[in-house]
Structure 1
């Protein structure tokens, strides 16, 4: 069990990152570890997760990053994961939810309801399970944070993105309800926060190399996203709990 003293912020924080296998995951793992965090990455894809963890660990100079395959559609499994982190490290100070996915259609009338089934699993049910699994542990932490990455489309749905926008909106509402729970249970001694970071879309170096003439207007670089996530721990819980932080212009 880890016994180092922790009073908040990133240095020494024990942070889980769900959906960590992609470019955003790698950037977030590296940023949190460089700031002194003990980072536990999770994804359903074992091979991609191992690659992301190895790359982030190398980029961060051999920092404390580990990986674990977790099925976040299994509530018992998610609770076991949260409990194991708290048992192994003495506490859990954060969950960053990066699980993503997109399905769309050419028009509203052409929407395939099978897309909703996929997105409901990826974007809503994983949020439900991680919030329920980590809620109590984050309350016990002196600096607990739950961070959801959402999309501007949740606030301004377009005809071809009905399923995606609805799923993102549901995930936001669920996360803000968690923030209300933190507020009610924490009272004046509030130490935990649930926050939504809103982007249009993400961009990374590989995308720029593939499309050198693209402008990616309004997109958020994965490194800037990682910085914004780190800032959630640098802010007081009163500043960030139950809020949407916009990283792109509001639609």
Structure 2
């Protein structure tokens, strides 16, 4: 089963859809035949990403909505609107990101934690709680978190970032356990999985730093391909797993 078959007619929500990874993901999901609903706080960049996916894949349904994912009732309302309009939700791809770090452990600024806790943990909590029921009702529900290798191998200057990513991973694995228990003896019908990268790279970064190697980085287009690929595998195979797109630390 290729990506087109796996996602034909599926309804996929993308949180953090306006950045380079979000833009690539909208394009790839639309190409695979999905109805795609993106959300982001940046209105202009979201509109550009949605328009690009629509233009590249004429006839594809790609929409965008400004949603404050730090507002739990608003996030729940977003999920409810999607299910009411399209009758189903088959996936939530969590691409909300952010980075703060320092030169050493002693120089860690806990204000960085305050920000990263919101961006990297709270948005995962709100989206997972909002979409969990619909994903269970789907015959191919997937909750996908994009994480970083640093969560498993934190460095001194990245304590806040690594700890936030690790917490988001733990939360996602707990959702996977919920899916496992709901499936009973038949195994999970839905899956929660973590795609782990070292870091992401895109064409604009390469243009800005033409001599940089970006060793071990994952191109956002390759990430989008791997996201689509999760739907090509059985839920029981990917649920509660870390899927490594870079070398394990």
* 2:90 pairs with 1:93: yes
- Which residue in 1 is equivalent to 2:196? 198
CA distance in 2, matches of 1:163, 1:9: 37
SS across alignment from 1:104:
coil
CA distance in 2, matches of 1:57, 1:25: 14
* 2:241 pairs with 1:243: yes
After TM superposition, list the pairs within 5 Å mapping 1:97-246 onto structure 2: 97-187=94-184, 188=186, 190-246=188-244
After TM superposition, list the pairs within 5 Å mapping 1:13-92 onto structure 2: 13-92=10-89
User: Deviation of residue 157 (structure 1)?
Assistant: 0.2
CA distance in 2, matches of 1:20, 1:202: 15
User: Deviation of residue 189 (structure 1)?
Assistant: 5.0
Q: Which runs of 5+ in 1 are unaligned?
A: 1-7
Deviations 1:46-100 (CA, angstroms, capped at 9, x unpaired):
1111111112222233521100000101111111111110110011100000000
SS across alignment from 1:9:
helix
CA distance in 1, matches of 2:44, 2:121: 24
- Which residue in 2 is equivalent to 1:5? none
- Which residue in 2 is equivalent to 1:4? none
Larger mean Cα displacement after TM superposition, 48-57 or 172-181: 48-57
Give the superposed CA RMSD.
Answer: 0.9
SS across alignment from 2:172:
helix
TM-score by length of 1: 0.96
CA distance in 1, matches of 2:69, 2:114: 16
Q: Which runs of 5+ in 2 are unaligned?
A: none
